[in-house]
Structure 1
C-alpha cells in the first residue's frame, strides 16, 4: 500500500509538472532550440543534439575567433589583408560571395561585413588566413574552441560551411556558439543587424528576413546548402517591466528562406508570450549570510556573480520558492568569488526552475593564531 501511494504521489507530481509546462508550437524543421539568454534556460527543443550540416551558421565560429583576435589586438579593423588565390577560388563553388579578388586589399572591417551581411565565403577565407596564417590552422583553432566549450556534436572541416565529410554541428551547439559571441563581444555584435552592404559597387542584402519584420530582432545568421536545408539563428531583445529580455532561436533544415524566417518567428513569439523572466536578485545583492570559522570575520555574504533571472511559465512568478544549499562548515580563508553553495529555485509544486551558484562577495582572510585555535575548539565541541 505504501509503495502504491508513493507511486501515485510521484505520478501526480510528474503530471503537475507536465501540465504547467507550456507546449511549444509545431515547428517544421529537422531540429530546433529556443534559449532564454537572460535566464540562461532552454525553453523548447527538438532533435537539438542531432548532428547536421550547419551550412553558413559555421561562420559564427569564424567570426568569434576573428573578434577574439581584435580583442587581443592581434588584428585591427583598419588593417588591410591580402586576398589569396584560395579566397578567390571560393567563387568556383557557386557559393555566397563578397566578390573580392587577388588585386584587392580589403580592410578587416570590410571583410567582416562581407562575411556577416553578405555571407561571403571568400571573405571568410581571407579573414581565416589573416588570423590563423592558413585555413587549416584556423580550422584547428575553431575545433579547439568548440572543445573548450564542451560541444559534443560539432566538428569543423572548413571556415565557410560548405558541405564536407565530417563537417557537422547541432542546434544546441550552434546556440552555444551564438550565445557566447553575443556575451563576449557586445561591441562587435551590431554587425549582425546590418541590413545591407555594398562592396566594389555590388550591393547585397542581409538574408535574415526577420531583421525587416520584427524590430526586436537584431541578428544573427542564415545558412543554406542542399544537404543542410535552410537554417537560421535569430536573436531578439524586447523590453519588459523588469528589464530587457533576450531570446535566441535556432532552426535547422527548413524547406525555404521563408520557412526558416516563419518558424523562427513562431518560436520567438511563443517564448515571449508563454514565459516570464523573473528577476529574483540584482547583481552584487546579498542573497544569504553564512557563519565562517577561523576567519577575521564571523560571517560571509553570499551572492550571485550576475543578476539572477529565471524563466517560468506565464503567471508562475509569484509562486516561486528559493532554498540555499551551501558547504558547511565554511572555513577561512575564503576568496572573493569562491563558490560555496547553490541557490535552488522551484515552483510551488516543487518543480525545479534553476540552480544558481552562490559565491563569496568579500574575501575573508585567516584569523590570527588565537582566533583560529578558539574556533578549532568550538568546531571540535560542535
Structure 2
C-alpha cells in the first residue's frame, strides 16, 4: 500500500488533490501543446499531451539519444567512420531534409550527429542507424528498447527519421518531453556539444563546389534567452512541430508543440509559449541536492529504514506574483520497501502541495545501500514482529 512519512523538519505534511495553478491561461492553435518545468516537475500546460501523434523529424531526438547512450558506455566512438551506402544515398539524397552526403563517403559519427541534430538530415539519420545496428530496422528496435527504459509508455519507432510510415511511428508530447529530459540530464556534455548549434557546414554545391552551410531550424535559438535545444519536425500529416528547451537562472523548461499549420506559426507559437513559461510562472528553491528529507521503512533488510535524499536541487513552481503561504510536503512510497536497495535508487517521491492546491512530484533516492538481512537478522525481525516490536 502507499505509505507516507512526515517531513517534520521541513513542513507539516498534508494531502491535496492535483490541480493546475491559477496562472494566466495560454491558448494556442497547436493541436498538441505541453510545457513542463524540470526544476520542479510542474506541468505548466498540457493540451492533449497523451494523444498519439506522428513525431515527424522530432523522432530524430531518439536517433540521437540511442547514439548518446552508446557513446557514454564506450561502445560508439565519436571518431568511428561510417560509410554512405549507394542504396541509402539513392533513397535519401533528395528526400526531405538532407546533409548532402555523397555515395561511399566516409563520415564520422560526430559529423553525422551534427547532420542529424542541426540539419535534420534524413540521409545522416539512416547512415548513422546503419552504422550502429547494421540495418535501420535493427536500429529501430534499439530505439524502442531505449524508449521503454526511459518510461516513454506511448511511443513506437519504426524508422530513424520520423518519415511517414502509415502510422507505425507514433509518440505523444509527454513522451517527447521525457526524451528531451533524458538527453539534457543523462548526457549534458553531448547535449551541449550537439544541440543548440546555430549552423553546420557539410557537402558541396554542384558546379562551383562551394561549401554548403545550413542553419539550425530551432525557432527559439538565439531568440529566447537560454535556449539550447532541441528539434523541429514537419510532414504534411503531422503539421509543424517543435520540442524545445531553455534555461534561465537555473530554471529549465521543456516544451512540445505539434500540429501547427505553418512554418511561421511554429516560430511565433514556440517563442510565445516559452516566454509565457518563464514570465507567467516563478520558481523558488526548496531542497538542495543530496539533502536528507526523511526516511522510508525497509522490509527484510539489514537496516529497518533507509534515509532519503534529493538527487538534484528541487524547486517549487508558482504562478508569478504569488505571495504568502508555504508549500506542504510529504513523502510517498510503496512500502515498506523490500531489500536489497541500491544506493541512489529512486524509491520514493516528494509530494509538494502549493498554497493554491497544485501538486508537484519530485523523485527521492536512497542515500545508502540496504542489503538483505541474513538468517539471524531475519529471525530477529520475525521475533520482533511476533511480539509487536516491528
1:186-232 Cα distance to aligned partner (Å, 9 max, x none):
11112111111111211111111311212311111111111111111
Against the structure 1 CA distance between its residues 162 and 331, is the aligned structure 2 distance closer, same or farther, given a 3 Å change threshold? Answer: closer
TM (normalized to structure 2)?
A: 0.81
Question: Could you tell me whether the CA contact under 8 Å between 1:310 and 1:353 is conserved in 2?
Answer: no
Question: Could you tell me whether the CA contact under 8 Å between 1:292 and 1:332 is conserved in 2?
Answer: yes
Against the structure 1 CA distance between its residues 325 and 146, is the aligned structure 2 distance closer, same or farther, given a 3 Å change threshold? Answer: closer
Question: Could you tell me whether the CA contact under 8 Å between 2:302 and 2:377 is conserved in 1?
Answer: no
1:50 paired with 2:51, answer yes
- Give the aligned partner of residue 193 of structure 1: 196
Question: Could you tell me whether the CA contact under 8 Å between 2:93 and 2:101 is conserved in 1?
Answer: no
Number of residue equivalences: 363
2: CA distance, partners of 1:364 / 1:132: 38
Matches within 5 A, 1:1-382: 20-91=21-92, 94-165=95-166, 166-190=168-192, 191-200=194-203, 201-239=211-249, 244-288=250-294, 301-314=307-320, 315=322, 318-324=325-331, 336-337=343-344, 342-348=349-355, 351-363=357-369, 373=380, 376-377=383-384, 380-382=387-389
1: CA distance, partners of 2:104 / 2:382: 75
1: CA distance, partners of 2:243 / 2:309: 33
TM (normalized to structure 1)?
A: 0.83
Against the structure 1 CA distance between its residues 23 and 104, is the aligned structure 2 distance closer, same or farther, given a 3 Å change threshold? Answer: same
2: CA distance, partners of 1:344 / 1:59: 34
Q: CA deviation at 1:310?
A: 2.6
2: CA distance, partners of 1:364 / 1:63: 36
Question: Could you tell me whether the CA contact under 8 Å between 2:219 and 2:270 is conserved in 1?
Answer: no
Please tell me the root mean square deviation across aligned C-alpha atoms, in Å: 3.3
- Give the aligned partner of residue 5 of structure 1: none
Q: CA deviation at 1:381?
A: 4.7
Question: Could you tell me whether the CA contact under 8 Å between 1:83 and 1:101 is conserved in 2?
Answer: yes
Against the structure 1 CA distance between its residues 295 and 196, is the aligned structure 2 distance closer, same or farther, given a 3 Å change threshold? Answer: closer
Q: CA deviation at 1:332?
A: 8.7
3-state SS of paired residue (2:189): coil
Unaligned runs of 5+ in 2: 1-15, 204-210
1:326-367 Cα distance to aligned partner (Å, 9 max, x none):
788899987644667553321346x25234455442456769
Q: CA deviation at 1:290?
A: 7.3
Moved more, 161-170 or 217-226: 161-170
Q: CA deviation at 1:107?
A: 1.4
3-state SS of paired residue (2:159): coil
Question: Could you tell me whether the CA contact under 8 Å between 1:87 and 1:123 is conserved in 2?
Answer: no
Q: CA deviation at 1:136?
A: 1.2
Question: Could you tell me whether the CA contact under 8 Å between 2:240 and 2:266 is conserved in 1?
Answer: yes
Question: Could you tell me whether the CA contact under 8 Å between 1:25 and 1:266 is conserved in 2?
Answer: no
1:5-59 Cα distance to aligned partner (Å, 9 max, x none):
xxxxxxxx98x966x5214311121111101112123211111122222111110
1: CA distance, partners of 2:358 / 2:267: 32
Moved more, 316-325 or 52-61: 316-325
Larger helix percent? 1
Q: CA deviation at 1:78?
A: 1.7
3-state SS of paired residue (2:145): helix
Moved more, 288-297 or 271-280: 288-297
